[in-house]
């Protein structure tokens, strides 16, 4: 996941809680840190790179499908009989597409 998308998730309120082994971008260098702890020191200026599983869980019951298409992936929301509009997150990777779906599901209402 690129820094710009990770930052969009952070700004939109995606949970930033991180534990040992989480990946994040260092805010100063924009480099990926694969384990955000350095010994006993915790890096605080960090933007989380959520895993695919975290993104799917964050979408909750709204997530319906992840579909591979030529050139990329599409993630869609569950459309109940209530007539909600279908939302699609498209990306080059499954993680990117679900991140974009999460952003659409969490737009200001």
Q: Is the pTM of this model over 0.95?
A: no
User: What is the domain range of residue 17?
Assistant: 1-50
Q: Is the domain of 10 the same as that of 55?
A: no
pLDDT at res. 33: 84
Distance from C-alpha of 99 to C-alpha of 102, rounded to nearest angstrom: 5
Residue pair 16/10 in contact (Cβ under 8 Å)? The answer is: yes
pLDDT at res. 70: 87
pLDDT at res. 13: 93
pLDDT at res. 34: 80
Q: Is the domain of 94 the same as that of 43?
A: no
Domain end, chosen from 50, 67, 87, is at 50
Ranges under pLDDT 70 in the chain: 35-44, 79-84, 108-109
Q: Is the domain of 55 the same as that of 18?
A: no
Q: Is the domain of 9 the same as that of 57?
A: no
Number of compact structural domains in the chain:
2
pLDDT at res. 80: 60
Q: Is the domain of 56 the same as that of 85?
A: yes
Instruction: Please enumerate in sequence order all residues whose Cβ is within 8 A of that of 80, keeping only pairs 6 or more positions apart, or say none.
Output: none
């Amino acid at each position: 996941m690129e820094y710009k998308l990770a930052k969009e998730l952070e700004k939109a309120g995606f949970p930033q809680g991180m534990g040992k082994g989480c990946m994040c971008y260092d805010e100063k260098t924009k480099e990926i840190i694969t384990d955000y702890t350095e010994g006993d020191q915790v890096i605080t200026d960090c933007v989380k790179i959520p895993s695919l599983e975290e993104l799917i869980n964050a979408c909750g019951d709204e997530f319906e499908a992840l579909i591979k298409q030529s050139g990329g992936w599409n993630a869609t929301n569950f459309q109940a009989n209530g007539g909600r509009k279908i939302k699609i997150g498209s990306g080059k990777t499954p993680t990117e597409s679900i991140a974009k779906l999460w952003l659409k599901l969490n737009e200001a209402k």
